[in-house]
Amino acid sequence: MANCVRCGRQLPGFSFGKKICQWCVQHEAAQRGEIVDDAPQPVMRTPWVRRGESTIGVTQIIFGICVAVFLGMALAGSTVMDFSPQETILWGANWGPLTLRGEWWRLLTSVFVHGGIIHIAFNMWCLWNLGALAESLYGRWTYAAIYLICGVGASLTSVAWHPYGPSVGASGAIFGLAGALLAAFKLGEFSVPRAALSGTLRSLGAFVFYNLVFGAAMPGIDNAAHIGGLITGLIVGAIIALIAPFREQAPRRVAILLVVAVALAGGAAEVAHHYGVPLRLGRAHSQVTGNAAPPSRTPNTGRS
């Protein structure tokens, strides 16, 4: 079916030659003053809202997991302002001596761990706004997969760049969402009004630019994870936009996401090989000794 060039809603069947839906036609006529103000406006659902979905979205679930982990760390620790590197490693931080020696799950768990109250507050604020937009446009399961894959891509870049600095935070995955949206909007995946599209692109570009500059200027921020997440999101968003732009193309999206996941697994193997670590899967505490002991303080405990 054809879509309205103004709002992206699907036009009814046999709408040959039509480019604007009934809702937009009447809305524009009302703006020009051609119809009375109290004229009934046809009710048509927005193109990015699907019927029958629960009110609890993936963004709220991710938000809840991050807050629950943070509360657990706060109850187990002595402060909520700045957790020590040992505490973050205990709760799943991405740390090379453990991650590269078999605890690859840390590439994912670190996305839900934060270094302090300011760290989680800023990340959750960004997630709540950017995640809601990405989820509404991509749909639940695609959005969840993109978020997790970008989080792993961010963690893999971080551990490859500085393996001995514990890294935690959701900002790498959030940068991935920004990258996916930038690629999708730029390649025309979603049919939205031009004014809204340009404003969204400016906002996303400003978000990425400001945070990368801020991360480069401030110590203790893991810009490697930001860049890794952003690049992963750009790649995933571009491929989906070109090959499977519609939600109904689920098999194609699954194939795309599986290929990206396999590529990340290959990247993990290359990183382990680069640092001379045998590729294995399992707990690595017994193998971490000497110079690989957790640092008392490190500048790379956070991602934002």
Contacts (Cβ under 8 Å, ≥6 apart) of 156:
107, 228, 264, 267, 268, 271
Helices first, then strands: H and E counts in the chain: 12, 0
Question: Which position among 110, 136, 167, 171 bears the catalytic label?
Answer: 171
CA angle 178, 180, 182 (to 5 degrees): 65
Is 274 noted as a catalytic residue in this protein?
Answer: no
Asked whether 280 and 169 are in contact (CB, 8 A), the reply is: no
φ, ψ of residue 3 in degrees (nearest 5): -115, 150
For residue 180, which of 194, 165, 190 has the smallest C-alpha distance?
190
Question: Which position among 136, 158, 226, 304 bears the catalytic label?
Answer: 226
- Indicate the residue type of 191: S
Is 171 noted as a catalytic residue in this protein?
Answer: yes
Q: How far apart are CA 159 and CA 108, in angstroms?
A: 12
Q: How far apart are the first and last CA of the chain?
A: 43
Catalytic residues: 171, 226
